[in-house]
Structure 1
Amino acid sequence: MSWQFEEEELVDVLEDEQEDEGRTLVVFNDEVNSFDHVIETLVKVCKHERHQAEQCTYIIHFKGKCLVKKGTYDMLKPMREGIVDAGINAVIN
């Protein structure tokens, strides 16, 4: 009986880890920040190549938001903070 409990507990932990890896960092459009500012922020904070940052910025502008990075919460949290510190709205989903 003890063995079954341990197996169930292990499965729960693995599922939590898999869910955490599926987090996304989403950046939202605003009427304040310039294209160049958003591009430079994505390059600096998310380590995007300039071309990738430009594409994300156009998606943000035309669609209102863009998923700019996937990963764990712990990986995305400092990126979100860096983006928000730059005056750009971002969330982790």
Structure 2
Amino acid sequence: MSTKEKVRERVNVKEATTANNEIVVYNDDVNTFDHVIETLVRVCDHTPEQAEQCSLIIHYNGKCTVKTDVYEKLKPQCIQLLAAGLSAEIV
């Protein structure tokens, strides 16, 4: 005897259609670890530990996603990162 199970799933349309973007910071030979960490804490509201981990990922992998949100919220943060001399973009 087999049991058939029907599963109904509700999906919040607003949630499903909201595309999150990411700020990606790239490695460079100009900025120090301290500058990157301080900038991530100030601009992206990272904890010092989180900013340090991101700076190490940037250094060893060449890039790191430092913030994920909707484009409108990321744009001013990305502008601040660029103004601080970091190589960043929204993807």
Sort the TM-score into its range (normalised by shorter chain): 0.7 to 0.9
Q: State the partner residue of 1:87.
A: 85
Q: State the partner residue of 1:69.
A: 67
SS at match of 1:78: helix
1:2-58 CA distance string (max 9 Å, x none): xxxxxxxxx7xx589512xx1001000000000000000000000100000000000
The structure whose residues are more often helix, as a share, is: 1
Tell whether 2:51 aligns with 1:53: yes
SS at match of 1:58: helix
Q: Where has structure 1 moved over 2 Å in runs of 4 or more? A: 14-17
Q: Counterparts of 1:23 and 1:40 in 2: how far apart (Å)? A: 23
Instruction: Give TM-score scaled by structure 1 length.
Output: 0.80
Name which one, 1 or 2, has greater alpha-carbon Rg.
2
Q: Counterparts of 1:86 and 1:59 in 2: how far apart (Å)? A: 19
Q: State the partner residue of 1:18.
A: 18
Q: State the partner residue of 2:38.
A: 40
Unaligned runs of 5+ in 1: 1-10
Aligned length: 79
Query: Which amino acid in the other structure matches residue 68 of structure 2?
Result: K
Distance verdict in 2 for CA 1:75–1:30, change over 3 Å:
same
